[in-house]
């Protein structure tokens, strides 16, 4: 983690948007509790060691509504987010509260462009069996994990067999609760590789 110290110094949730390295944008869409979006910012900052900024870009995801399924097509949300990224954005993750799907599956917790720029995650399916008391803290923890997981895909990470790793594919909420808030050593190495590659690429083609 030493290598990312310079990133961490520059990290603060909010300001200094244009200075220094590219930032990961956390973008709530629609009514998202700020406790949740801030939790996502925190996890993303910690796991990816990049500057993180919160900024709403879309007011709703109604354009992605499928009338027959009454669910929202996550791939279309990714396309919209990708089109709207402001300059100096490393990656963007949207947070929504609606039920997401991709056409072949009944539902997804989120989706991401593998090696691309955009990811999206939803609170909808993460809520289910939570009791009222701990609800918000547990939901924040689940959302943080799934948001980091989807962002991991944008850094070319694929699913990991290690059940405690953030990149493990969770079939159920039990799996989500079981995994830690960390990347396993392999995925960490692969993430660092990709970050280095992106940094090199940026040096080669200054915007």
Site map (CB under 8 A) of other proteins, residues 143-172, x = contact: ----------x----xx---------x-xx
Site map (CB under 5 A) of Zn ion, residues 166-185, x = contact: -x----------------x-
Q: Which residue has the tokens 């801030």?
A: 38
- Residue whose C-alpha is closest to residue 182's, from 169, 168, 162, 166: 166
**What does 172 interact with, of Zn ion, other proteins, none (CB < 5 to 8 A by kind)?**
other proteins
Stretch that binds Zn ion, among 37-45, 122-130, 164-172, 196-204 (CB under 5 A): 164-172
List, edge to edge, every strand of the sheet that includes 100-101: 65-66, 71-73, 100-101
The Cα–Cα gap between 21 and 6 comes to 10
Nearer Cβ to Zn ion, position 11 or 166? 166
Q: Are 71 and 106 in contact (CB under 8 A)?
A: no
The Cα–Cα gap between 67 and 9 comes to 46
| Residues belonging to the active site | 150
The site for other proteins (CB under 8 A) is made up of 75, 101-108, 111-112, 114, 153, 158-159, 169, 171-172, 185-186, 189-190, 193
Question: Which residues form the interface with Zn ion (CB under 5 A)?
Answer: 160, 162, 165, 167, 184, 187
């Amino acid at each position: 983690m030493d290598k990312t110290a310079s990133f961490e110094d520059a990290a603060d949730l909010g300001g200094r948007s244009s200075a220094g390295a590219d930032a990961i944008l956390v973008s709530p869409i629609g009514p998202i509790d700020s406790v949740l979006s801030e939790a996502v910012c925190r996890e993303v900052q910690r796991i990816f060691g990049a500057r993180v900024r919160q900024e709403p870009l879309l007011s709703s995801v109604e354009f992605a509504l499928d009338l027959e399924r009454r669910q929202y097509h996550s791939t279309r949300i990714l396309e919209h987010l990708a089109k709207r990224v402001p300059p100096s954005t490393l990656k963007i993750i949207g947070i929504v509260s609606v039920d997401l799907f991709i056409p072949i599956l009944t539902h997804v917790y989120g989706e991401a462009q593998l090696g691309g720029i955009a990811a999206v995650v939803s609170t909808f399916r993460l809520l289910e069996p939570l009791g009222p008391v701990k609800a918000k803290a547990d939901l924040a923890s689940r959302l943080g994990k799934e948001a980091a997981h989807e962002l991991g895909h944008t850094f070319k990470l694929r699913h990991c067999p290690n059940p405690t790793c953030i990149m493990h594919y969770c079939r159920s909420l039990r799996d989500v609760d079981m995994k830690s808030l960390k990347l396993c050593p392999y995925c960490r190495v692969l993430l660092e590789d990709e970050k280095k590659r992106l940094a090199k690429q940026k040096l080669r083609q200054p915007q």
